[in-house]
Structure 1
Amino acid sequence: MNRNVAVIGAGSMGVAMAILLSKNGNNVAVWSPMNDEISMLKANREHVTRLPGAKIPDSVEFTSDIEIAAKDSEVVVLAVPSQTTRQNCRALSKLISADTIVVTCSKGIEDSSCKLLSEIMQEELPNNSIAVLSGPSHAEEIARDIPTTVVAASDKIQVAQFLQDLFMTPNFRVYTNTDVVGVELGGALKNIIALCAGISDGLGYGDNTKAALMTRGIAEISRLGVAMGGNADTFSGLTGVGDLIVTCTSMHSRNRRAGILIGQGKSVQQALEEVNMVVEGVATTKPAYELAKKLEVSMPITNEAYSILYEGKNPRFAVGDLMTRDKKTEMQ
């Protein structure tokens, strides 16, 4: 059955979701607040700067009027920078019905409140069913129909199963999970580790270093996740280890690309300007650092990332401090 779907955000993930959902037989409307972006999408039927070469089906509609996009929507897909989640949900609260399912593809933690995006969505849309779609899923590959697996997470299993049916194709496999906290934290926190993996690459370190960062990174992600109520098993799955692997190793990853530039000596601001896309790991590091302190969870890699990004610490000194910490057993 065809569904009316509004995609909020016309960046790389928003366009990739629109292509996928349209090819799956749904009626898709995409919103962007930028008139020039909408004009470009209408004229070219592709996002020439974010997803060049990925053709958008003619049936996908584009608008800079969020009311038009949201009208009669049965599902809203949020594909916006994580720090804009609250304002976009607030705008949608006046436009969608209580029956509309709202699912976010964004990965982050709100800087000002240290809240998960699902918590923000529930606060701003208390009458709606809320879900998260996450996993190792670069938009560039989704748009090219390259085999991809993700997780639809909701505390209501029937909502997760509905989204599984909505998104699933022969090349886009969707699993379900009710551990929203675990799924969301895995997706958000791996961006910090990917940023650090990029810094390691920029410093000229090797595969050994990156393997250590990824392995110890998932350990501290899991520690914070469990402390916040997530299921430990979730972090060994697609939205934990899976998302960490793809983001730390691929040049599609804007977090890794920004990290490489920082490791090469660029300032954080210079790196962000050169990547010229939202680098979620930078914004997520601060609330993750604060949550770890509040919950008394050991997150040494995150602590050093915070020192590099917000206190100007030399990345080589950060690596040195990580390597010369007190001796421990591996499972400590």
Structure 2
Amino acid sequence: MDGTHMNMPIAPDVPEAPDTKQSRPYRTIAVLGMGSWGTALACVAARAGGQVRLWGRREALVQTMRATGRNADYLPDVELPERIAPTSDIAEALSGADVILMVTPSHSLRQMCDDMRPHIAPGTPIALCCKGIERGTGYLLTKVIEEELPGHPVGALSGPTFARETALGHPTAATVAFPFSYADRLAPQDSPAARLAVSMSDANFRPYMSDDIVGVEIGGAVKNVIAIACGMMTGAGFAENTRAALITRGMDEMKALAEALGGRRETVTGLSGAGDLTLTCSSTTSRNMSLGVQLGQGTPRDACFEGRAVVVEGEVNAVSVVDLARRVGVPMPICEAVHAILHEGADLTRTFSDLWARPIESEPRALDIALAHPISARI
């Protein structure tokens, strides 16, 4: 026998692959919102094989996109796939759509639903791709859609996803969440979560599925506020220890609020929570982090972003998140600090000093201890 094979390593036992199921992708996808994230999602859906209608209000931008194949206002260096059809006609965008991705700003969500109502086919699934909590009502944004457009499955797509990187095809992962009905659990491959996940899957975009819409939405809303806190501390001259502490304790605030509203703490440790939080708190590519940095450096709010009127979701979310947390009795000291600085005129340095001087607590919730912090009497 030839001895050349005598020293070959023995292949380890490989576990059998899970029982994978085939799911049917949605073929016609309407993306409502022509900003950077809407355009990025349209690129993903088109590359995955879908026919995409990308809607925006500005006819001039639509015409430019049709002529150049690029969104010059938001993602000028990204060539749009041919399967994307830009339009400013909402009826055209929604006609025959198998699924709708809503990427409009959270503050205009009810108006967007009103615009859609005459044109949306019964039962068409809707995936929310913006993040926040409605100010005043305390509603999660999926609840707003359910109230305005009853009879449609409503879910969310969320995760650590900078728009430009996603549009350029950098490997990216996100969570697709829809409530699972009894029928969905019997045939999960036919659920809206599964069908949207395969509709958005290509070589570089990898979705994961969830049935915890509350946990996914809370992660998306709260992370914006924590990112502003991280930016403030970075701008004020603090370093990585501070940012790591804020991210970790900020995630605990996310978990507590999600759990109080019926979500699962484990969801917040996933892509839509810990993943999105880590990304948003680590780069000034995030407008939330960037705003915090500028404020931490002492730049007045009206002078931030060189005086341009830039919408920062976390600035709005700070009000709605804190209001909701107070209603349900969940302490969120980091979010409270950001709210106080942004909306109550609190001094940044003093506010964060007070945050650090709060009573010393136990990290496992089962160990219920609180001790007065020694420095609290000195500040």
**TM-score, scaled to structure 1:** 0.96
SS of aligned partner of 1:22 = helix
- Answer whether contact 2:226 2:246 (CA < 8 A) is retained: yes
Match of 2:257 among 224, 227, 236: 224
Q: How does 1:10-25 map to 2 (within 5 A)?
A: 10-25=34-49
Matching residue of 1:236: 269
- Answer whether contact 1:152 1:175 (CA < 8 A) is retained: yes
- Answer whether contact 2:26 2:195 (CA < 8 A) is retained: no
Alignment-mate amino acid for residue 158 of structure 2: S
Structure 2 CA distance, aligned partners of 1:53 and 1:37? 15
Matching residue of 1:27: 51
Matching residue of 1:289: 322
SS of aligned partner of 1:133 = strand
Matching residue of 1:62: 86
Matching residue of 2:172: 148
SS of aligned partner of 1:165 = helix
- Answer whether contact 2:47 2:202 (CA < 8 A) is retained: no
SS of aligned partner of 1:244 = helix
Match of 1:8 among 25, 29, 32: 32
Match of 1:312 among 322, 331, 345: 345
Alignment-mate amino acid for residue 250 of structure 1: S
Following superposition, the deviation at residue 309 of structure 1 comes to 0.7
Alignment-mate amino acid for residue 326 of structure 1: P
Structure 2 CA distance, aligned partners of 1:291 and 1:99? 30
Following superposition, the deviation at residue 175 of structure 1 comes to 0.8
Matching residue of 1:214: 247
- Answer whether contact 1:2 1:25 (CA < 8 A) is retained: no
Matching residue of 1:252: 285
Following superposition, the deviation at residue 133 of structure 1 comes to 0.4
Q: Which has the higher mean CA deviation after the structures are superposed, 229-238 or 85-94?
A: 85-94
Deviations 1:309-332 (A, max 9, x none): 101112111111111112222235
Matching residue of 1:117: 141
Structure 2 CA distance, aligned partners of 1:321 and 1:81? 33
Following superposition, the deviation at residue 174 of structure 1 comes to 0.8
Structure 1 CA distance, aligned partners of 2:315 and 2:206? 29
Following superposition, the deviation at residue 36 of structure 1 comes to 2.7
- CA-atom RMSD, angstroms? 1.5
**TM-score, scaled to structure 2:** 0.84
- Answer whether contact 1:135 1:149 (CA < 8 A) is retained: yes
Alignment-mate amino acid for residue 82 of structure 2: D
Following superposition, the deviation at residue 277 of structure 1 comes to 4.1
Runs of 5+ consecutive residues of structure 2 not aligned to the other structure: 1-24, 185-190, 366-379
Structure 1 CA distance, aligned partners of 2:339 and 2:308? 20
Structure 2 CA distance, aligned partners of 1:170 and 1:30? 22
Following superposition, the deviation at residue 180 of structure 1 comes to 0.3
Matching residue of 2:301: 268
Following superposition, the deviation at residue 189 of structure 1 comes to 0.6
- Answer whether contact 2:140 2:217 (CA < 8 A) is retained: yes
Match of 2:158 among 119, 124, 134: 134
SS of aligned partner of 1:143 = helix
Structure 1 CA distance, aligned partners of 2:85 and 2:290? 32
Q: Which has the higher helix share?
A: 1
Structure 2 CA distance, aligned partners of 1:102 and 1:203? 41
Following superposition, the deviation at residue 274 of structure 1 comes to 4.7
Matching residue of 1:52: 76
Matching residue of 2:374: none
| Identity score, percent | 36
Alignment-mate amino acid for residue 67 of structure 2: A
SS of aligned partner of 1:80 = coil
Q: 1:146 to 1:226 in 2, by over 3 A?
A: same
**Greater gyration radius:** 2
Q: 1:109 to 1:270 in 2, by over 3 A?
A: farther
